[in-house]
């Protein structure tokens, strides 16, 4: 079992920045994929970004150039730096973990296959 706890969500104005953190209760397995997805009220889940155990990253087109995913292996923590925030970024943000590397380790398909996820942290961007 792995517990994931997100933090860092807040309310900001358009153009602002936030950094989300996701602390894991134990080191992920030797091969894994971690990432962020989001869900706004009335909308489907949307993969945002992923990073695998080899540090390869992927991003949704909607956040490319604005968001940066990273991980600190020593702290067992995943991050999402969000800059130039827009109202359409408003959502609950979740971090999740896939055990092993699969073809779903990309922002577009990440939500289709993960083993653990956190409870989420709310991001609200006002215009």
Q: Which residues of the chain have pLDDT under 50?
A: none
Please give the Cα distance from 73 to 65 (Å, whole number): 24
Q: Which residues pair with 24 in a beta bridge?
A: 4
pLDDT tens-digit series, residues 99-112: 988 889 999 999 99
Angle at the Cα of 103 from the Cα atoms of 105 and 60, rounded to 5 degrees: 40
Mean of per-residue pLDDT scores for the chain: 95
- Token readout for 58 is 């992927």
pLDDT of amino acid 102: 85
């Amino acid at each position: 079992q792995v517990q994931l706890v997100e933090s860092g969500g807040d309310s900001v104005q358009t153009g602002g920045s936030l950094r989300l953190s996701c602390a894991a209760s134990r080191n992920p397995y030797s091969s894994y994929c971690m990432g962020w997805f989001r869900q706004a009220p009335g909308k489907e889940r949307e993969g945002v970004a992923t990073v695998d155990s080899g540090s390869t990253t992927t991003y949704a087109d909607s956040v490319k150039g604005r968001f940066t995913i990273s991980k600190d292996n020593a702290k067992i923590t995943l991050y999402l730096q969000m800059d130039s925030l827009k109202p359409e970024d408003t959502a609950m943000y979740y971090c999740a973990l896939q055990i092993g590397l699969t073809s779903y380790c990309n922002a577009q398909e990440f939500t289709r296959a993960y083993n653990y996820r956190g409870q989420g942290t709310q991001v609200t961007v006002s215009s």
